[in-house]
Amino acid sequence: THLIRSRYLQEERPVLINNWEGTYFDFDETKLYEIARGASACGIEMFVMDDGWFGNRNDDEHGLGDWMVNEQKLKGGIRQLADRIRGLGMKFGIWVEPEMVNPDSDLYREHPDWAIAIPGREPSLFRSQLVLDISRKEVRDEIMDRILKVLHEVEADYVKWDMNRYLSDLGSFALTQERQGELSHRYVLGVYEMQERLVKELPNLLFENCSSGGARFDPGMLYYSPQIWTSDDTDAIERLKIQEGTALVYPLSTMGAHVSKVPNEQVGRICPIATRANVALAGSFGYELDITKMTAEEKEEIPKQIRMYHRFRKLTMEGDYYRIASWSAESPFDVWMIVSKDRKEALVTYVQVLGRPQTGAERIRLRGLDPDTGYHMETVSGKMLPSTSSLRYGDDLMNDGMLFPALGDFESLVLYLRAERADV
């Protein structure tokens, strides 16, 4: 966290909803507003408009690089949509991918030499796009001028900066043959310069980096953005290993984590909304779905989840993270803890990945507590544990442990521990 300069290092980040998995490219102003209105009614605090709002962008083959509003989708312009959403009491954010271009775009037709390519060879495409040569100042300036014009127009509260392909065909039309080997290094310096310009021109912006998920989760990005999208794999069970590995190096506050739709887009799994939220609460929390398609019962859970996020936000963002159990075929459950610096509070999250026949309760030994402190326990999500009714001391919880009941597939619970007589 010492790398992070954003004011959001200390401030509470709004709970957001992103429309990507809810609509993909198929939306218009009415559809986005209906999602935002439903989200606002549930207590969600910010709406993020993802890919598809610009150029001739109705799929991933067209329009990338043309950073002007798609007036067929947003007939009143982005500012009108932003104003309507702010009228709901929400903040407004936008997705961009500044480093990339589709061959079928006005930008590429005007400046084919702005794409990274080896002269005389057909460049390889990935997600139907090429990489812009942002080692070149004229390319950086033009792209940032266009994007910042939009961001200033709508007074954006949040930006998600994506980067959805790797570099290949490394060649720059601006470098001599002898200097082609400098391209990769100069490219990264160009990224840093562009992001520095963004955060200087919009100092109050909540800025999130992304690269097909977490492909660019590194300290260099944290210098510019306080959070990074952890993975485009949004299934809650898949996220257990992903978030475990990321949290070994990076603070939970830096990990973008959302409640996604079901069946999940990547693996088709159907997880309870409680488990999807309990996993996402171990990160920078939000939603990634079409709220207008949720059942009434699911919608009723969202305000409870948001209250839970706000209640434990400081603990989650600033506490110490402990891995208790990593799920495997032999032990199909996942457990982690977050303990406050003063050891007066803790959250324990238990996720049953797969149920097994003829199994009893699992004994889980906690970590990080004060051995001489008594703790009151409260089940804040999931099935209430019978062992939480009495005061128990830290040494007992860490040595003898607690019995957690066998749960069904993909079920979970969250336990809150509070020190006796603690002012929390």
pLDDT at 388 over 80: no
How many C-beta atoms surround the C-beta of residue 70 within 10 A?
19
In the chain, what percentage of residues exceed pLDDT 70? 99
Work out the angle between the directed axes of helices 296-318 and 273-280 (0-180°, nearest 10).
20
Top pLDDT among 213 and 57 is at 57
Average pLDDT, the chain: 95
Q: What's the pLDDT score for residue 267?
A: 97
Q: What's the pLDDT score for residue 303?
A: 98
How many C-beta atoms surround the C-beta of residue 361 within 10 A?
13
Kindly report the three-state secondary structure assignment for every residue of 232-272.
CCCCHHHHHHHHHHHHCCCCHHHEEEEEECCCCCCCCCCCC
Question: At 331, which amino acid appears?
Answer: S
pLDDT at 424 over 50: no
Mean pLDDT of 93-118: 98
Q: What's the pLDDT score for residue 280?
A: 98
Mean pLDDT of 365-381: 97
pLDDT at 423 over 60: no
Cα separation of 264 and 35, whole Å? 19
Cα separation of 362 and 364, whole Å? 6
| Domain 322-419, architecture per CATH | Sandwich (2.60)
| Domain 7-318, architecture per CATH | Alpha-Beta Barrel (3.20)
Please state, in angstroms and as integers, the Cα–Cα distance from residue 75 to each residue in 27, 54, 79, 156, 181, following that order: 12, 12, 11, 19, 46
Residue 55: which pLDDT band, with cuts at 50, 70 and 90?
Answer: very high
Which sign, positive or negative, has the C-alpha torsion 155, 160, 164, 168? positive
pLDDT at 3 over 60: yes
- In the chain, where does the domain assigned CATH 2.60.40.1180 lie? 322-419
Q: What is the pTM of this model?
A: 0.95
pLDDT at 128 over 90: yes
Q: Are 277 and 305 in contact (CB under 8 A)?
A: yes
Q: What's the pLDDT score for residue 387?
A: 64
Residues involved in catalysis:
162, 232
- Write the CB contacts of 295 (distance below 8 Å, at least 6 apart in sequence): none
- In the chain, where does the domain assigned CATH 3.20.20.70 lie? 7-318
